[in-house]
Amino acid sequence: MALPSLHTCRTATVGLFSRLQTPVPTVRAFSTSQSLHHVAAPVWNLGRLNHVAIAVPDLEKAKAFYKNVLGAQVSEAVPLPEHGVSVIFVSLGNTKIELLHPLGKDSPIAGFLQKNKAGGMHHVCIEVDNIYAAVLDLKEKKIRSLSEEAQIGAHGKPVIFLHPKDCGGVLVELEQA
C-alpha cells in the first residue's frame, strides 16, 4: 500500500485548518429587550491553604511521629481553653498541620474522637482576604456556619467554621489572611 505524498498531506491539512477557521454564527440565548445582569466582582477572595487539622487521641505520640519519624519542625503544645483544645503546629514550609487534642470533656474534639477512636482529619483551613465579607456573602448563599460571626482562632486571627453538610462533607475553616 502506497503512502500519501507530502503534497497530499499538506493539502489535506490546509483544508482541515481552513474549515476550523471558518467563523461560526453566534447564537444569542436572550433577546435584546431583556436587561443584562452584571455579576459583581467578589468582595472577598480565597487565599492559600493555611493548615490541615488532625484530631489525635495522644498528642505527645503524634508530636513524636511528626518530629522524630518525619523530621518536621513541631511546636510545643499550646492549650486553648476558649476552644477546648490543645494544639501542636507542624510546619511544612508551604503550610501547616494542626494536631488537635481535647482539653476537657466538653471539647468538640472529644466528641470527634469518640466517633473516630484513632483520630483523623478534622478540618481544612483556607485563608481569605476579608473574613467579614466572606461571612456575609456565604450567609446570602445559604452556607451555614457553626457560629453567627467570626471568632478569634488559634493563630490569633478571626476565623469561622462552615458546616460540613454545606461543604461536601468537609468541615472548612476560613481564616483572615
Taking only the tens of pLDDT, the chain with its 177 residues reads 555 554 544 444 444 444 444 444 444 444 344 444 445 557 899 999 999 999 999 999 999 999 999 999 999 999 999 889 999 999 999 999 999 999 988 899 999 999 999 999 999 999 999 999 999 999 999 999 999 999 998 889 999 999 999 999 999 999 999
If 0-12 CB within 10 Å is exposed, 13-18 middle and 19+ buried, where does residue 80 land? Answer: middle
- Torsion 67-71-72-75 (CA) sign: positive
Q: Is 121 helix (H, G, I), strand (E, B) or coil?
A: strand
* Other residues' Cβ atoms within 10 Å of the Cβ of residue 127: 19
What pTM, to 2 d.p., does this model score? Answer: 0.74
